[in-house]
Structures are given as structure tokens and as C-alpha cells.
């Protein structure tokens, strides 16, 4: 007995030691609940994750052992509020894993990913826990709010979609597939980051600046070399090749779908989305690709005329034809010719800091938000800036915004929004306000030139802040449905919607000032920008749609069809089948398609185009009723942004439109592909 007591004391001492000095075990009451980034060490994550798992397991055991009849409060709500420590750690770890990771952090993420996947499976394959949830569902929804009904529905579906009805032997197989998938996804992200850094080392150009460099690079041989290096990432052999890794992921997904009763992964993924089935998505994308291909052929002809002029001037060999590496360069020449618009003329008006002020000005005018920069709070990298958002009318805190805008070797490419903390109402009734990050890879300052953004980068900043607004303005009760907790083919609606304000004259007057002279952007230049936004849409829409189709076609294959699949030949077949012009490749080829192999968009990349239909249709109401009509903005805020995922997407859309279905042609008209 004495030895047992000594052993217990020793274990308690180890646990106490692990907690002592670890910021994750403290209350973050200061600095608006921001994590104390300046005190968090790499060694703090795993002890906190392990303790968080232990705590949540105990909370779920309490739900299961409760002798009272199962109710929403003692089962579903109890689960919603479980795992607080785990959420706290994950909100920091997985943000830094993408923005400020090194080899040591990558090892932590790898270990954490594995045990968290196992933990999730333990929850959603727990038959005793499911029996409690099922009992609540079968008791009916009388007395439940609409939000509670949706939360219950989502929780119930989580069990079903994770194989709760499978025999234990099959569950064990599925658990192993899930574990391997999570590890493979993490490996893909690490390899792609290494490939992106290798590209930068070769050309002294970050991957995020590839299109900008291709637009201005006059050296055709350099353009060709850059294109080939960019488009072959992940297929160069060596330790960072992703070809077999991609196929492994695809095969495991197909097998998982088969075990769960679906023909392929696309069927499984779409079963609970707005689109619902692959046939609907395929038909939707086919119409877009047909329209964009037709426009792309016209664009090639326009570019070839300018290339022919360069041939005549002796700048290129006779017989030269537009190739994929010529598109950005000659498209810019056509744009200058057709619209008299040049990025070198527009970018001086788009100082990064000023554009951010414009983003804030639009949100302030539409939704009544005030912004204040916080200079004395901890951030995870010196480049990150923090801002406090408050309600103009009430003065209440809306949330804390972290802006992380420039590339670095520890950050993956692209742009995205992350929640460090979700909005929800805690058990005491306190409205917990969110902490949200926008991560981008904008043109950095160089030598004596500050960060000046391209037109596309301006749109990106508005886009990502649209996601942030969806999180900030959420007024939900439960974390699982707050903010961006909606289906993948609905979530991009609000980011793309926010882009509509980027070049409104009233907003441009707030931020588009020449960084040298302070001159407000001239009206004629604004008109040129707006007129040019529909330019080159055959290419822009075509490469986006092609990537969406590639994503779908991979995930429409079943396990047998994937056995002998080959990356290169399959891509070639898919591109030929969609009639993609030879001068265009998918925006993301398989081996560097991070969205579908590491970001949750598998069989879901179509969502960007799908939600653009909703975005453009919703925006048409502002165009008719007034771009800054306060009643329209308030209706949009209350119908969409405050509701998060607490109602079905189409119900919300029809509430906003007065019962009208989405206009399926709105996106094609918005891009100028049809009249």
C-alpha cells in the first residue's frame, strides 16, 4: 500500500510539474483573452493536449453515466461545452503550424494530429455515447430552438458519418484509415511548403508572387523555366515528391467511403452539402467550363496578335505561339491595350496599410464596426498586427483581429482565415467573443518601396476579411455552429461577397491614395479598374473551374479504379475531357493541390464557384436598393452573418431574398461570360 501511495504521489508531482509554468493551464483574462504568445513554448503543447484529451474523456464519461433521462441539456449541450482546454490549445497550435512553423513545431503537429484523430474516433465511435444522442433525437424537437435542432442534427450525423453502425472490427479498420489520413495530410502540407521554399530559392520569387512576376517578366526563357518549376511542384522525385502520397490519400478516402456505404469519396462528401450529389456539381461545372473555354479562345487570339507584333519587331522567333508561360505576360499587354490599365500605375494607390484601412471602412459603414489598433498585446510573430473591434452603437466588444499579411519561409502559401477562439455563449451566459486571424502572402516591401498591392491582392484582402466578418458578427449560442461553422459549399459566400466593396468609389476615396503624393485615385482610373474586372475571365474562370473538375474526377473514382491510377495520365485525360485549351492548366495540379489534400476541400473546391452564384445574387439586392443602404446591410447581417450555421443555408438565402431561389446565371454574368 505504501508503494502504491508513493507511486500516486509521484504521478501527481509529474502532472503538477507539467502544468507549472505552462500558459495553457492558466486563465487568459488579460489582453481580451489573447493567448500569451510571448510565453508559449513548443514544449507546452503536448502536455496540454494530453491533459485536454483526458479532461474531455472524463466529461463524456459523465454524460454517459448520467442516470437521468437523456435531454438536449445533459447530452448535446454538455458535449458542446466539453473539451475547453483542448480547443484552447488547438486554436493556437494549428494556426502557428501554418504560419510560423519550424522542424520542432512540425514534429509536435505530427504527434498532436495523430492522437487527436484517435481521440475524435474514440468519441464518434462510442456506441454508449451515441445511444444517448440518439435518444435525444428520437425524443423529438419540441421545446428546442432552431439552433438547438441544428446542433443536434449535426452531432447525430457526426456519429453516423464516422461509422457508428459498423461492427467493431470494421471500426478498428476505419480508425486506422483515419489515423493514416490525418498523418498523410500533414505530410503533404510539409512537403508542399518545402517545394514552395525550393521554388523561391531557385527564382528569388515566393510562390505567392508567381503570377505577379510572370506578368512583368520580359525574359521568355525565364518565364518558361518558372512555369515548369511552378507547375511541377511535388513531382520532381526525391523526399518532397507528393505523387504516391496523393494516390495513397485518394485510395484511403475511397476505401473509407466504401466502408460507409458510398460509391466514392465525392458521394460521401456531398451527402450533407448544399449540392448533395456529384451529378449536380458536375453539371454545374460543365456549364461554367464551356463558357470559359469559349472566352479563353478569344483571349488567346487577342494575345497572339500582340505576340505576332513582337515577332515582327524581331523580339521573338518566327512561328512563336502563345504557351502557358506567356499567358500572364501577354494578358497584361492586352489589358493595357484594351483598358489602358497597368499594374505599375494602379499599385502606388494600393499601399497595403491603406487597403486595410479601406477594408475596415467598408465594414464600418455596412455593419457599424469601430477599429482600434492594439500595440501592447502579445502576437505570434513580429509581423502580425492586432486590432480591437467594437460595436459603434453599444461600445460592446466584437472581437480581436490579427493581420498576418506577408510571406516568410515558415508560412505556407495562399491566404486564409483562422479562428484562434470561436464565438459562443458559455454555460454562465457570457458571450465569448472571437479571436480571428487573416493570413496572406502579399507583395512585401522591397528596398525603398513599401508593400504595394496588385488589384488581385486588394480583392484577396477584402475576401479574407469577409470570412473574418462571418466569424466576428456571429451571434450563436453553441460553438459548433457559430461563425464559419457552415457547409463547405456555403462558407465562401461571405468572403466573396465582401470583395464587391473593394472598388466601390465611396470606399476607394477612403484608402486609395498615392503613397508618394497622397493624391486620391483619379475617377478615370477607378473606372478603368472596374471595367477591367471582367477581363481575362476565360483564363481566370477556366483554371479555377478546371481545378474544381480535377478535384471531382479524382474523388469520383472508387477504390478499384484507383488501384493502378497514374497522376500524369489521369490529369491529361481529365483536361482533354473538359476541352481545356492547351494554353491553360488547372489552377492547382494534383501534386500541389493543398485545398483538397490538406485543407478540407476534397470534393469541395467547386464551392468557390457555387457560392459565387449566391454572392452575386445577394449583391444584386444591394445594387438595386443602394450599395450602402443601411436597411439592406442590416438585413444581410442579421440573416446571414449573425446566424452562422444555426440554420440550413438555403433557408437563410430565401429569407434574405424574400423566398426567391438563387439565380444560377448570376455568377456567369458577374464574370462577364454571358450577357
* Torsion-angle region of 573 (φ positive above 0: left; ψ -120 to 50: alpha; else: beta): alpha
Residue 328 sits at φ, ψ, to 5 deg, of -60, -40
Largest CA distance in the chain: 96
Selection from 576, 572, 575, 583 nearest residue 547 by Cα? 575
Q: Which helix (H) or strand (E) holds 644?
A: none
C-alpha 648/C-alpha 254 separation (Å) is 28
Is the distance from CB of 598 to CB of 188 less than 8 angstroms? Answer: yes
- CB under 8 A, 24+ apart: contacts of 200-204: 200/409, 202/229, 203/229
Q: Where are the alpha helices (DSSP H) in 100-167?
A: 103-124, 127-138, 146-160
Residues carrying an active site annotation: 464
All three cell numbers of 78, joined, read 454538455
Edge-to-edge strand order for the sheet containing 369-374? Answer: 369-374, 385-391, 397-404, 435-439, 416-421
Bridge partners (DSSP) of residue 452 are 351
Task: Render the burial of 218-256: b for 16+ CB within 10 Å, e for the rest.
Answer: eebeebeebbebbbebbbeeeebbbbebbbbbbbbbbbb
CA 576, 579, 583, 585 dihedral sign is negative
Distance CA 36, CA 419 (A): 16
Residue by residue, DSSP assigns 50-76 as: HHHHHHHHHHHHHHHH--SPP-IIIII
Residue with cell 487597403: 355
Which pairs with CB-CB distance under 8 Å and at least 24 residues apart come from 24-32? 24/48, 24/85, 24/88, 24/89, 24/92, 25/51, 25/85, 28/88, 31/374, 31/377, 31/378, 32/374, 32/377, 32/388, 32/397, 32/400, 32/433, 32/435
Closest CA to 108 of 42, 179, 160, 55: 42
Distance CA 321, CA 224 (A): 13
Rounding to the nearest 10 degrees, give the CA dihedral for residues 489, 543, 188, 552. 50
CA angle (391, 396, 402) in 5-degree steps = 70
Residue 525 · residue 349 · CB < 8 Å: yes
Question: In angstroms, rounded to a whole number, what is the distance separating the alpha carbons of residues 534 and 81?
Answer: 47
Residue 165 makes CB contacts below 8 A (sequence gap 6+) with none
Catalogue the E-assigned strands of 261-384: 369-374
By three-state DSSP, how is residue 585 classified?
coil
* Separation between Cα atoms, residue 164 and residue 171, nearest integer Å: 8
Q: How far apart are CA 539 and CA 537, in angstroms?
A: 5
Q: What sign results for the dihedral spanned by CA atoms 126, 128, 134, 136?
A: negative
Residue 412: CB partners within 8 Å, gap ≥ 6? Answer: 98, 99, 189, 192, 193, 196, 594
Amino acid at each position: 500500500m505504501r508503494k502504491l501511495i508513493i507511486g500516486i504521489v509521484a504521478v501527481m508531482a509529474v502532472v503538477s510539474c507539467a502544468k507549472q509554468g505552462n500558459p495553457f493551464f492558466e486563465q487568459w483574462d488579460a489582453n481580451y483573452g489573447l493567448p500569451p504568445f510571448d510565453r508559449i513554448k513548443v514544449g507546452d503543447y503536448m502536455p496540454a493536449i494530453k491533459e485536454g484529451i483526458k479532461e474531455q474523456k472524463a466529461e463524456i464519461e459523465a454524460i454517459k453515466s448520467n442516470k437521468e433521462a437523456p435531454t438536449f441539456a445533459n447530452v448535446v449541450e454538455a458535449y458542446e461545452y466539453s473539451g475547453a482546454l483542448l480547443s484552447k490549445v488547438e486554436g493556437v497550435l494549428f494556426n502557428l503550424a501554418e504560419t510560423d512553423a519550424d522542424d520542432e513545431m512540425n514534429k509536435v503537429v505530427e504527434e498532436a494530429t495523430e492522437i487527436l484523430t484517435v481521440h475524435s474516433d474514440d468519441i464518434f465511435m462510442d456506441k454508449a455515447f451515441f445511444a444517448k444522442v440518439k435518444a435525444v433525437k428520437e425524443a423529438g424537437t419540441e421545446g428546442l430552438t432552431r439552433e438547438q435542432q441544428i446542433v443536434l442534427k449535426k452531432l447525430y450525423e457526426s456519429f453516423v458519418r464516422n461509422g457508428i453502425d459498423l461492427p467493431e472490427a470494421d471500426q478498428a479498420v476505419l480508425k486506422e484509415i483515419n489515423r493514416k489520413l490525418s498523418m498523410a495530410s500533414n505530410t503533404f502540407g510539409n512537403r508542399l511548403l518545402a517545394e514552395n521554399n525550393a521554388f523561391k530559392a531557385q527564382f528569388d520569387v515566393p510562390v505567392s508572387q508567381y503570377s505577379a512576376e510572370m506578368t512583368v517578366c520580359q525574359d521568355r526563357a525565364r518565364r518558361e523555366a518558372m512555369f515548369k518549376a511552378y507547375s511541377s511542384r511535388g513531382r520532381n522525385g526525391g523526399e518532397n515528391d507528393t505523387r504516391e502520397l496523393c494516390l495513397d490519400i485518394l485510395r484511403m478516402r475511397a476505401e473509407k467511403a466504401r466502408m460507409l456505404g458510398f460509391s466514392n469519396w465525392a458521394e460521401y462528401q456531398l451527402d450533407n452539402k448544399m449540392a448533395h450529389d456529384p451529378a449536380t456539381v458536375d453539371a454545374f461545372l460543365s456549364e461554367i467550363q464551356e463558357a470559359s473555354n469559349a472566352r479563353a479562345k478569344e483571349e488567346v487570339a487577342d494575345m497572339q496578335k500582340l505576340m505576332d507584333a513582337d515577332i515582327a519587331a524581331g523580339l521573338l522567333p518566327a512561328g512563336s505561339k502563345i504557351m502557358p508561360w506567356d499567358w500572364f505576360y501577354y494578358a497584361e499587354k492586352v489589358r493595357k491595350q484594351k483598358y489602358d490599365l497597368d499594374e505599375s500605375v494602379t499599385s502606388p494607390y494600393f499601399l497595403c496599410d491603406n487597403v486595410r484601412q479601406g477594408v475596415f471602412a467598408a465594414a464600418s459603414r455596412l455593419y457599424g464596426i469601430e477599429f482600434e489598433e492594439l500595440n501592447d498585446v502579445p502576437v505570434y510573430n513580429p509581423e502580425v498586427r492586432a486590432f480591437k473591434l467594437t460595436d459603434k452603437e453599444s461600445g460592446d466588444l466584437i472581437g480581436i483581429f490579427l493581420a498576418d499579411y506577408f510571406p516568410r519561409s515558415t508560412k505556407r502559401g495562399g491566404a486564409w482565415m483562422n479562428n484562434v477562439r470561436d464565438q459562443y455563449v458559455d454555460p454562465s451566459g457570457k458571450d465569448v467573443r472571437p479571436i480571428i486571424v487573416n493570413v496572406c502572402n502579399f507583395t512585401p516591401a522591397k528596398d525603398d518601396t513599401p508593400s504595394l498591392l496588385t488589384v488581385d491582392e486588394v480583392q484577396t484582402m477584402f475576401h479574407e476579411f469577409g470570412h473574418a466578418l462571418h466569424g466576428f458578427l456571429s451571434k450563436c449560442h453553441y460553438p459548433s455552429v457559430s461563425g464559419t461553422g457552415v457547409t463547405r459549399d456555403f462558407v465562401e459566400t461571405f468572403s466573396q461577397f465582401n470583395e464587391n466593396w473593394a472598388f466601390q468609389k465611396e470606399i476607394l476615396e477612403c484608402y486609395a491614395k498615392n503613397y508618394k503624393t497622397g493624391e486620391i485615385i483619379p475617377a478615370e482610373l477607378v473606372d478603368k479598374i472596374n471595367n477591367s474586372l471582367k477581363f481575362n475571365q476565360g483564363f481566370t474562370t477556366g483554371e479555377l473551374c478546371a481545378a474544381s473538375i480535377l478535384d471531382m474526377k479524382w474523388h469520383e473514382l472508387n477504390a478499384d479504379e484507383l488501384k493502378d491510377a497514374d497522376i500524369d495520365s489521369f490529369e491529361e485525360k481529365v483536361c482533354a475531357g473538359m476541352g481545356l485549351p492547351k494554353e491553360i492548366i488547372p489552377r492547382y495540379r494534383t501534386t500541389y493541390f493543398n485545398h483538397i489534400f490538406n485543407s478540407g476541400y476534397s470534393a469541395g473546391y467547386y464551392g468557390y464557384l457555387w457560392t459565387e452564384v449566391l454572392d452575386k445574387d445577394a449583391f444584386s439586392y444591394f445594387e438595386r436598393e443602394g450599395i450602402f443602404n443601411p436597411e439592406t446591410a442590416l438585413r444581410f447581417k442579421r440573416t446571414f452573418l449573425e446566424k452562422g450555421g444555426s440554420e440550413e443555408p438555403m433557408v437563410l438565402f430565401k429569407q434574405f431574398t424574400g423566398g426567391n431561389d438563387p439565380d444560377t446565371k448570376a455568377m456567369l454574368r458577374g464574370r462577364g461570360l454571358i450577357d
